[in-house]
Amino acid sequence: MLYPRETRTREVKDLSGIWRFKVDREGYEQRWFEKPLEDAILMPVPSSYNDITQDESIRDHIGDVWYERSFYIPEGWKDKRIVLRVGSATHHARVFLNGKEITQNKGGFLPFEVEINKFAQIGCENRLTIVINNILDWSCLPPGFIREYNDPMHPEGYKTQEYLFDFFNYSGIHRPVMLYTTSKTYIEDIKVETQIDDKKGIVCFKVVVNGEKKDECHIEATLYDKDGGQIAKVEGPEGMIEVENAIFWEPSNPYLYKLNVTLVRDGKAIDEYYLPVGIRTVEVKGKRLYLNGKPMYLKGLAKHEDSDIRGKGYDPVIAVKDFNLLKWIGANSFRTSHYPYAEEILNLADEYGFLVIDEAPAVGMNFFNKNEKVFTPERVNQKTLEHHLEVIRRLIARDKNHPSVIMWSVANEAATYEDGAYEYFKRVIDEVRKLDPTRPVTLVESSFPDETKVASLVDVICVNRYYSWYSDPGRLDLIEFQLEKELKRWFELYQKPVIITEYGADTIAGFHSSPPMMFSEEYQCEMLKRYHRVFDRLDFVIGEHIWNFADFATKQEVRRVMGNRKGIFTRQRQPKMAAFLLKKRWESMKENK
């Protein structure tokens, strides 16, 4: 799936802006899609709707909400193929154009698109309605369940949405909605893989063409350097371009070439698309991760798509600020915990030169067959698996060409010690390897080395660990003893490199304490220092990702003080003391530790 781009044959129209919005009471029965919404309020797109109004019933709404806006299709588009593309709608969407349903989507973190020529009015106003539903069950990723309270302390029919992941269940149209055009015969997909042979870079590409009379067309692929200088031009739907003395893509020099693909019929360019290309290889061998044949150490943080007011809505202001902070602090990588991020973020990661662990939205999968304390009869089941496989296919289809994406993570903190976990994740990981043999695969664990059943399936062991926080709280003195013992055990059992994908402490900016106490800035610093001493002693540790980049919103509960406070930055992106400690450490570290 290609990200919408303007070229000499394609136009893009961004429908971001102010939409009309209404919380559903009986929308479908009253056929709200047939005419303009009555009594609608205004809602910005992209954004989560939850924090925009002053109304707590909107913030905590469970069920459908309606979004609507009108747009014009220019006369000039009449011979074009017109596609509507929604960057993401969290979690389920039904889309109507001029009162007719044109598509549905399940899954809140990946784009979907639909050709609208049959339904659209060219040269006139069109009414677009998107109904979004935020209910999670065990056929969704992430999973969740509705809790019904049949007890005397709750009014009849009282229910809440429950979920086992630690971020607020924001909902809405979170990413740009765009219209774009192609010719009726069009470039549907391009896949690029790169290899390195000494100083030479090799760019292999494959183009999929679709639409009427596609057999009468031929393809021209041209590779340009950064300054627009042509390197080579080849013909055909697949091919290979060699770049002598190539500049390889890496964090210290994220050099991007440009692959231009043109579809030609009767000597005329009818469709054109281009793709930024970073020439790089990734490989895991022995105790190491290699980028372009050089061992790499990952310094960075796990993030969230989260900010004040916008919730999970994509905002270029926040995005660029975050990349500036990542650069400032000396990081070279991050994980898209716990779901695929906006494509705009990955485009920036390619450009800024960050190494990304790209994660599926599989979080809160805390049990397969036990844990009776959790009040739901349901568990991970066949439907969860089917959806998981579908999400993996769509994730790889979307992100396969990004040089920044160096590893796939299929899940976070699943109950990998339970029966069924191995069979489940074998299916998922096999699917990833089939679709993309070029990148390593991981599953982020919170299980212990002797209890997990899935470690044999992954290329890199990724572990989240909270010594002196969730276990032995306040016992900084135990960190080195416990952590070193555990990490050595991982290596002893599996002989694979290890990344610590989460470690950290809730820290309220401005709380101070000496000697350090939990929640103070000193405690966060002291904890990190002790973890780092262990990482520095172990040569199979190939990365450290702190939890979390910034404080973020969660559901309301007694362990959370206005959200999770493990950020190195506040939610407003101001540094805590630990940010300076990390900056010092990371700036003085070599690429390979």
Residues annotated as catalytic are 413, 502
**Tokens 């990946």, located at residue:** 110
Q: Tell me how far the alpha carbon of residue 474 is from its chain's centroid.
A: 33
d(CA 69, CA 493): 57
| Strand boundaries in 393-436, DSSP class E | 405-412
Q: Which is nearer to ligand E9O, 15 or 461 (CB)?
A: 461
Give the nearest distance from C-beta 471 to ligand E9O in angstroms. 4
Show the DSSP H helices in 3-112 as ranges.
56-59
Secondary structure element (H or E) that encloses residue 582, with its range: helix 577-588
Strands 172-173 and 89-90: antiparallel
Give the nearest distance from C-beta 413 to ligand E9O in angstroms. 6
Q: What count of other Cβ atoms lies within 10 Å of the Cβ of residue 350? A: 20
Give the nearest distance from C-beta 185 to ligand E9O in angstroms. 45
Q: In the bound complex, which residue of the shown chain has the CB atom lying closest to ligand E9O?
A: 166
Show the DSSP H helices in 181-329 as ranges.
316-329
User: Which pair of structure tokens corresponds to residue 321?
Assistant: 């600020």
Q: Which is nearer to ligand E9O, 217 or 301 (CB)?
A: 301
User: Which pair of structure tokens corresponds to residue 302?
Assistant: 């796990």
Q: Residue 32: what residue type?
A: W
d(CA 288, CA 408): 17
Q: Tell me how far the alpha carbon of residue 133 is from its chain's centroid.
A: 20
DSSP 208-245: EEEETTGGG-EEEEEEE-TTS-EEEEEESSEEEEEETT
Helix and strand numbers (H, E) in the chain are 8, 32
Q: Which is nearer to ligand E9O, 51 or 502 (CB)?
A: 502
Q: Which is nearer to ligand E9O, 65 or 525 (CB)?
A: 525
Give the nearest distance from C-beta 81 to ligand E9O in angstroms. 41
Give the nearest distance from C-beta 470 to ligand E9O in angstroms. 4
Q: Which is nearer to ligand E9O, 66 or 339 (CB)?
A: 339
Q: Which is nearer to ligand E9O, 51 or 166 (CB)?
A: 166
Question: What is the DSSP code (8-state) at residue 416?
Answer: T
Give the nearest distance from C-beta 19 to ligand E9O in angstroms. 30
Strand partners, 357: 335, 407
Give the nearest distance from C-beta 504 to ligand E9O in angstroms. 7
The binding site for ligand E9O (CB under 6 A) comprises 166, 338, 413, 446, 464, 466, 470-471, 502, 547, 564, 566
d(CA 52, CA 50): 6
Give the nearest distance from C-beta 338 to ligand E9O in angstroms. 6
Integer CA distances (angstroms), 457 to 202, 204, 356, 426, 544, in order: 30, 28, 20, 7, 21
Q: Which is nearer to ligand E9O, 272 or 445 (CB)?
A: 445
Give the nearest distance from C-beta 490 to ligand E9O in angstroms. 16
d(CA 389, CA 367): 18
Give the nearest distance from C-beta 502 to ligand E9O in angstroms. 5
| Strand boundaries in 398-551, DSSP class E | 405-412, 441-445, 461-464, 498-502, 541-547
Question: What is the DSSP code (8-state) at residue 341?
Answer: P
User: Which pair of structure tokens corresponds to residue 130?
Assistant: 């998107």
Q: Which is nearer to ligand E9O, 396 or 444 (CB)?
A: 444
Cβ 483 vs Cβ 465: under 8 Å? yes
d(CA 11, CA 431): 35
Can you tell me whether residue 479 is helix, strand or coil? helix
Cβ 389 vs Cβ 431: under 8 Å? yes
Q: Which is nearer to ligand E9O, 439 or 566 (CB)?
A: 566
Phi, psi dihedral angles at 360 (to 5 degrees) = -75, 155
At how many degrees (to 10) do helices 421-435 and 382-399 cross? 20
Q: Residue 17: left if φ>0, alpha if ψ -120 to 50, beta else—which one?
A: left
Sheet containing strand 112-115, edge to edge, reads 12-14, 177-182, 81-86, 112-115
Q: Which is nearer to ligand E9O, 383 or 560 (CB)?
A: 560
Give the nearest distance from C-beta 570 to ligand E9O in angstroms. 16
Q: Which is nearer to ligand E9O, 292 or 482 (CB)?
A: 482
Cβ 410 vs Cβ 441: under 8 Å? yes
